[in-house]
Amino acid sequence: MNKSQHYILLSDCLSVLQALQSSNSHSKNIINFLAQEIAKVSNQILSLEFIWVPGHSGIAENEFVDNLARTAKDTKISKWISSHDLLYILKINILTEADTSWKSSKYHHDFSHLNTIKPHYRLLPYDRKMDVLLSRFRTKTHPTNATLFRYNLSLSPLCSTCHQVENIEHILFQSIKYEEQREILRRSLGTIPLSFPWLFDQSDDVKTKTFLVLSFLRHLQL
Ligand SMILES: [Zn+2]
């Protein structure tokens, strides 16, 4: 670079030139990075002009620069990742980070069955009401008397039949109000003792189990 020289930069990439012309804080990182580099250089010379050319071939200087770019191994060029690739990498990183933070959270112990949620586990015909019902139990967010009482939305935290605290576990495993439905579920699932993680873990035999659990929840008429 010569301080007393005017420079012209030829590029065949119109979109980059346009983006540089209107670069601002909302521009893509790569554009801001380029704009910064150009600003550094243009402070050291008389002037710098950008000219768009329809294609590189035939312009010796451009061919030269192209070759340099291709042979460069350890330059800032590694930052020049396309937005598509960058988004892909970011998405994977965000998912991995979310997964790590979920698995180390204090809630993971009680909800480890939620690890297995995957889009292809939608095996039942879509029914919003049933979906909500199943989800509320899987996430222990069904409004039981215990929860409603905590927010002053119920006069008592107790089950109206057994007079014990009515929480999710009480509804699923203890309340005599639902013993008949529970017995049907037990018989249809086999001799395996009912437990919360087992009922709502969808990692194996998903279709049958989910169908039976849902049918049980429906018949509780909550
Ligand atoms: Zn009860």
Measured in Å, residue 111 CA sits from the centre of ligand 1 at: 23
Measured in Å, residue 139 CA sits from the centre of ligand 1 at: 20
Measured in Å, residue 160 CA sits from the centre of ligand 1 at: 6
Are the beta carbons of 191 and 111 closer than 8 angstroms?
Answer: no
pLDDT for the residue numbered 165: 95
CA angle 67/68/72 to nearest 5° reads 120
pLDDT digits (tens, 9 = 90+) for 109-133: 888 877 755 555 555 666 888 888 8
Measured in Å, residue 188 CA sits from the centre of ligand 1 at: 22
Measured in Å, residue 145 CA sits from the centre of ligand 1 at: 10
Q: Indicate if the pLDDT at residue 49 is higher than 80.
A: yes
Which residue has tokens 């250089």?
A: 41
pLDDT digits (tens, 9 = 90+) for 59-79: 777 777 777 777 765 555 455
Greater confidence (74 vs 221) lies with: 221
The full DSSP string for 60-113 is: HHHHHHHHHHHH--SSGGGG---HHHHHHHHHHHHHHHHHHHHHTSTTTTTTGG
Measured in Å, residue 169 CA sits from the centre of ligand 1 at: 10
pLDDT for the residue numbered 118: 55
Are the beta carbons of 20 and 34 closer than 8 angstroms?
Answer: yes
Measured in Å, residue 156 CA sits from the centre of ligand 1 at: 13
How far is residue 183 from each of residues 17, 86, 188, 203, 214, measured CA to CA in Å?
72, 53, 9, 24, 14
Are the beta carbons of 144 and 173 closer than 8 angstroms?
Answer: no
